[in-house]
Amino acid sequence: MSDYISDLSADVESTARTGGGVWTLSACGITRTERAIAALVHRDAYRGGVEAARVLLVGGLSGRQQDVGLALRCMHLYAGMARKAHGIALSVVPCANPDGLALGVGPQNGAGGVPEAGYPPVDGFFNDPTDPEKRYLWRWVCHQAPDLVLELCDSDAVVWEANEAAVVMARPLGAAPLGPSDSLLAALGTGEPDGLGTVPGLRLSTPQGRLKAELDRLWSLLRGTGAPGPSAARVTLEARAVRSPVEVGRALAQVYGHTLTPMMYTKGVAVSGRLRLAELDSQGESPLDDIEALVSPFVSDFDSVEANALEQGALSGFVWCDDLAEATGNSRYSDLLVRVADKFEPRGMEGGGPPEAADTLVEDMFHAGVLWGRAFKITGDVSYPDRLARFLLGARNQQDVGYFWHSPSAPHYWGRGNGFAALGFAEALTYVPDDHPRRNDVVAKHRRHLEALRPLQRPSGMFPQLLDSPGSFDEFTATCQIGYAVARGLNRGWLDGSYGDMVERAWRGVSQRIDEEGNVTDACEGTGLMDSRQDYLDRQALSGFDDRSGSMAIWFATEMSGLRAGI
């Protein structure tokens, strides 16, 4: 079986490589053995305004070699007609249960789970100890939002089955109602999967020899006048994607930035975001009175706040001081920012030790960037940019590949960790003066990081939870942070226009994961230094309200608004 798995991987990689740019080799999940669930993603799978029918083929949920063989056969048939396949954009997951296939235990997965049943999953994203495959697959399918999901099963006779959302196609294909009710296809066809909308699903059970003829019937149907059109899920995501950044910002500002208790960067960035949004949104109400009342206890009695021993990571929660000083002209806010900046010391560098000797956390690159940069803007004291450049350039987190470890003692390429690094450098470069002797070095290190991140961006526009784990989930916060850093660099001129596609794809992916109530999808929970890769893979992905990701999303929205307006 190991030879078959190797041949399968080689076949999929070769098809992507020789497919004339039709497909990108990606992954839609990862198993408990860290085996990526390979996916060939069509170039039109996530693009807006595509008229072609977006079809997703899911094979091998059963873990049976015969079913995987059918999916591979379909992949090759499509590859052979790809240049003539106008009207159909096919993406392929050849084997959605690779551990079951590799271990010969399908439909189980070898960890105690059964990936072909139990849909929709309602929790365990993506840290379920026995059945992660269905969580990854469910979220990935819902947010790709194809117009049709096709499942292939080896059988002695031809049988078509259709879920409740595929009734338009059921009659011409002679399809029976699909079961069981907890299968992937059945769950996609009812209710509002993942809060988006239904996706039509068809299951074709067929002998190998009849596959081409039956697929030809389906392709003709999808190209014909009776084609079902965009799925309800696709319609929902497209409606989200066409909102302006300011409109998305309004949805977020309804629920984020209305509390500072307990003081943390997650809350302070959101307050800052509300103030930035107000500068851009001529139709919105001014939040100034509300925010001044909110921050009053921290401004009027900061000594009492200090006595509560604010953690270092909480100090950047005062980032709003600068925005509020700009909005009101009141210097007491900027004075407070300087007091806070003077309290910050990157962990491992207490007492001014050399950063080369420090076990630096990437989070501190963000904290230092937002505090010391603004302190220089307010005071003109060059010791702030000197200290900032020395810290960013001396830290040992960036590796030869170009991206960052969480820390030297946690040598893992955490997605949000790299978001913190990108954001910290972007904030620093906003304030470090052009004639500073180390500025060009800071720019070079930042560009090297972004160049390394660029090929890791997924077809969805998102960045992964672990950068070196192709199947780890699309992580919301990291994408906001990296996207903001790129947009800021384009707005301020230290990045060139070649980054435009990168930031637009990131914005599309993020905006589609924000609903009208400000809920987000798949934000990694709070994460300290972890011992292993599996620990990072097992961090819970939060969906719904999350001030950590909501705050970064407001910043990204305001920076994107400025980019599109040429501000």
How far apart, in Å, are the Cα atoms of 23 and each of 15, 56, 234? 8, 12, 20
What ranges in 115-231 are assigned the alpha helix state H? 132-144, 167-173, 184-188, 211-223
Grade residue 86 by pLDDT with cuts at 50, 70 and 90: confident
What gap in Å lies between CA 454 and CA 407, rounded to an integer?
22
The reported pLDDT for the residue numbered 2 is 73
The reported pLDDT for the residue numbered 270 is 98
Question: 365 with 314: CB under 8 angstroms?
Answer: no
Assigned token pair, 19: 């497919």
Assigned token pair, 48: 């807006």
The model's pLDDT over 178-237, given as tens digits with 9 standing for 90+, comes to 989 999 999 999 999 999 999 999 999 999 999 999 999 999 999 987 678 999 999 999
What gap in Å lies between CA 530 and CA 24, rounded to an integer?
31
The reported pLDDT for the residue numbered 383 is 97
With H, G, I as helix, E, B as strand and everything else as coil, classify residue 21.
coil
The reported pLDDT for the residue numbered 350 is 58
Residue spans per domain, the chain: 2-241, 245-565
In the CATH hierarchy, which fold is given to the domain comprising 245-565? Glycosyltransferase (1.50.10)
The reported pLDDT for the residue numbered 81 is 84
Residue 307: pLDDT over 60: no
- CATH superfamily placement of domain 2-241: Zn peptidases (3.40.630.10)
Which are the contacts of 514, defined by CB distance < 8 A and separation ≥ 6? 240, 248, 251, 252, 520, 553
What gap in Å lies between CA 352 and CA 324, rounded to an integer?
30
The model's pLDDT over 231-262, given as tens digits with 9 standing for 90+, comes to 999 999 999 999 999 999 999 999 999 999 99
Residue 331: pLDDT over 70: yes
- Bond before 464 cis per omega within 30 degrees: no
Mean pLDDT of 298-321: 83
The reported pLDDT for the residue numbered 147 is 97
Residue percentage of the chain with pLDDT more than 70: 96
Instruction: Identify the H or E element spanning 160.
Output: strand 159-162
Residue 282: pLDDT over 90: no
Indicate the average pLDDT of the chain. Answer: 95
Residue 351: pLDDT over 60: no
The reported pLDDT for the residue numbered 311 is 81
The model's pLDDT over 126-160, given as tens digits with 9 standing for 90+, comes to 999 999 999 999 999 999 999 999 999 999 999 99
Mean pLDDT of 154-168: 97
The reported pLDDT for the residue numbered 308 is 62
Grade residue 310 by pLDDT with cuts at 50, 70 and 90: confident
Q: Please, what is the Cα angle at 532 between 528 and 537, to 5 degrees?
A: 80
Q: What's the chain's length in residues?
A: 567
Mean pLDDT of 345-366: 76
What gap in Å lies between CA 332 and CA 564, rounded to an integer?
33
The reported pLDDT for the residue numbered 348 is 61
Mean pLDDT of 55-76: 97
The model's pLDDT over 385-403, given as tens digits with 9 standing for 90+, comes to 999 999 999 999 999 999 9
Rg, Å, the chain Cα set = 25
Residue 328: pLDDT over 90: yes
